[in-house]
Amino acid sequence: MKKLINQIKVLSVMAALFLVTAVSAQNKIISPNELPKKAQSFLNKHFSNQTISFVTLDRNYLMSKEYDVLLANGTKIEFSSDGAWEEVDGELQTIPTAFIPTSILQYVKRSFPNTQITKIEKDRSGYDVKISNGIGLEFNSQGVFKRIDD
């Protein structure tokens, strides 16, 4: 009987954690003015000629926040909770490059002339870049080419 009660307690705790997790993960449409200042500055500097269609705040597990911005031309931009860009996806169209590390820009220009960057994603390990011919490239966190991503 004691074993059954302990099992019920464990199952109850697991169910409660599941419910808290499910309730805490939320997506909410917000105003562009509610973005962190760093994200607003990035958009003003690199995408001032584009109209923002909408911004969503993604809350995950009570702690983490991410912001997703969709521009009228279809470009998607993801920002971390502090407003740092994490991904810029032009959906097959060229994106601005002033924020991309120079070493990546030089490598793409030298190795793949007549192509443009259409997507870039950064994380702790480095950068994933997609160019207009469909090839994916991986760079380390210093912007040094690692390999073609297949």
pLDDT tens digits for range 49-81: 999 999 999 987 656 789 999 999 999 999 999
Would you mind telling me the total number of residues written for the chain in this entry?
150
CATH of 26-149, one of 3.30.300.90, 3.40.50.720, 1.10.760.10, 3.40.1420.30: 3.40.1420.30
Q: 34: closest CA among 99, 83, 76?
A: 83
Percent of the chain with pLDDT over 70: 80
pLDDT tens digits for range 73-119: 999 999 999 999 999 999 889 999 999 999 999 999 999 999 999 99
Torsion from C-alpha of 66, 36, 69, 137, nearest 10 degrees: -70
> How is residue 25 annotated by DSSP?
-
